[in-house]
Amino acid sequence: MNTLLIIDPQNDFCNPGDETGKGKGSLFVPGADEDMKRLAWWILSNCETLDLITVTLDNHYLNDIAHPNYWENEEGQNPEPFTIITLNDVKSKKWLPVFSYERTLEYLENLEKQGEYPHTIWPEHCLIGSEGAAIYKPVFDAINEWSKRGNFFQPVMKGAYPFSEHFGAFAAQVIFNDALETQVNNGLIDQLGKFDNVFVAGEARSHCVANTLKQLADYAPGLVSKLIVLEDTMSNVSGLDTIAGPIFEKVRELGAIFKKTTDFE
């Protein structure tokens, strides 16, 4: 049995816009549009052998810990997108959260202990209910064609807890005991474990895909050997091409297979 896990194939990451830039995703990942076209073709080519498609969907409030509106400096200015904010920046009052000071400190402290991803401010993206949060049309259309065979795709919402980043499919970057939506989605892990092959695609390679793979390695290492990563269906956030390298090497060592969509022609 085969299942496909698609990470965040949404307009804000995947839509390049028209020739004037209209419609471009607020956090467009260069190459994501072509990634998703390849993925759509692959889905259509494998409709008969795909038993389940699961799609994670990034969803955020405007006031999110990774959005500019959450933060201010002493002049009342918001940080520019791609600003890095550290625990020391908050303690020194270089940047201060507008919301929940203590929880913000707790988040930054735990994030920095991980020593992997710095806290980055992103452009507002995947706002709940927005066009940017919708599935990019080529992938949406392909999923619907697969669904016409009597199938139901499974959406998995993530990211709506405003006090933690939520890159990976299975848990937030920092887990809080009093916030269920940040905790490990064991139900999804158990479901994927029932399949012989778990194909993985989506955006962005450097962040949400990489952290999805890392979480599987951490929480369900026995499942990693079932992974087939479609490496031509994912691209990195610009300038962060190497940040996820160690994660990909780890899952490769644990038995994950890396292929391209064209390998299945």
Three-class DSSP category at 20: coil
Residues 132-145, mean pLDDT to the nearest whole number: 98
Per-residue pLDDT at 243: 84
Residues 83-95, mean pLDDT to the nearest whole number: 98
Give which of 241, 103, 238 is closest to 172, Cα–Cα. 103
Task: Give the residue ranges of DSSP H helices in 76-204.
Answer: 87-91, 101-114, 137-147, 186-192
Type of residue found at 216: L
Per-residue pLDDT at 90: 98
Instruction: Parse the chain into domains and list their residue ranges.
Output: 2-61+131-264, 68-114
Residues in Cβ contact with 249 at an 8 Å cutoff, skipping those fewer than 6 apart = none
Three-class DSSP category at 97: strand
Model confidence pLDDT, tens digit, residues 206-264:
999 999 999 999 999 999 999 999 999 999 998 888 888 999 999 999 999 999 999 98
Residues 191-207, mean pLDDT to the nearest whole number: 97
> Over the chain, what is the mean pLDDT?
97
Residue 16 and residue 33 in contact, taking contact as beta carbons nearer than 8 Å: yes
> Would you state the structure tokens that stand for residue 213, as one six-digit string?
């793979």
Model confidence pLDDT, tens digit, residues 91-115:
999 999 999 999 999 999 999 999 9
Give the DSSP letter string of 28-39.
--TTHHHHHHHH
Per-residue pLDDT at 242: 84
pTM score: 0.96
Domain 2-61+131-264 CATH superfamily: Isochorismatase-like (3.40.50.850)
The yes-or-no verdict on residue 150 having pLDDT over 70 is yes
